[in-house]
Amino acid sequence: MNKKELVSAVAREAGLTNAKAAEAVEAFIKSVSGTLQQGEDVRIPGFGSFEVSHRAASKGVNPANGTPIDIPARNVPKFKAGNLLKEAVNDK
C-alpha cells in the first residue's frame, strides 16, 4: 500500500473525503516526525511505537572499488509493532 492507497482507505474507513483523509494522514506523519526530531518516542497502544536509535560511526568499504570509507554517526527511526498489530497480522 502506498500513500495514495492509504489515504483512500482512511477516507473509506472514517467516512471522510479523500482531501480530508489526506490532511489527516499528512498531519499524522508530521506529528510523528516532529516528535521524533525532538528526541521523544511515540507510543500508540496496540499499534506500536516509534523511537529514535543512535547508530555509532563505523568503518565501511565502498562496494564499487573496495576503498575504505568512514560512515558517520547518525540517528535512525525505528518502529516496533504492538501486540494487537502482531495478532492482526497473524490472524487469517
- Asked if 26 and 57 sit in the same domain, the reply is no
7, with CB counted inside 10 A (0-12, 13-18, 19+), is: buried
- Residue 66: CATH number of its domain: 4.10.520.10
The three cell numbers locating residue 66? 573496495
pLDDT tens for the 92 residues of the chain, in order: 999 999 999 999 999 999 999 999 999 999 999 999 999 999 999 999 999 999 999 999 999 999 999 999 999 999 999 999 999 999 86
- Asked if 23 and 59 sit in the same domain, the reply is no
First-to-final CA distance of the chain? 19
- Asked if 35 and 62 sit in the same domain, the reply is no
21, with CB counted inside 10 A (0-12, 13-18, 19+), is: buried
- Asked if 53 and 74 sit in the same domain, the reply is yes
33 three-state secondary structure: helix
pTM of the model: 0.79
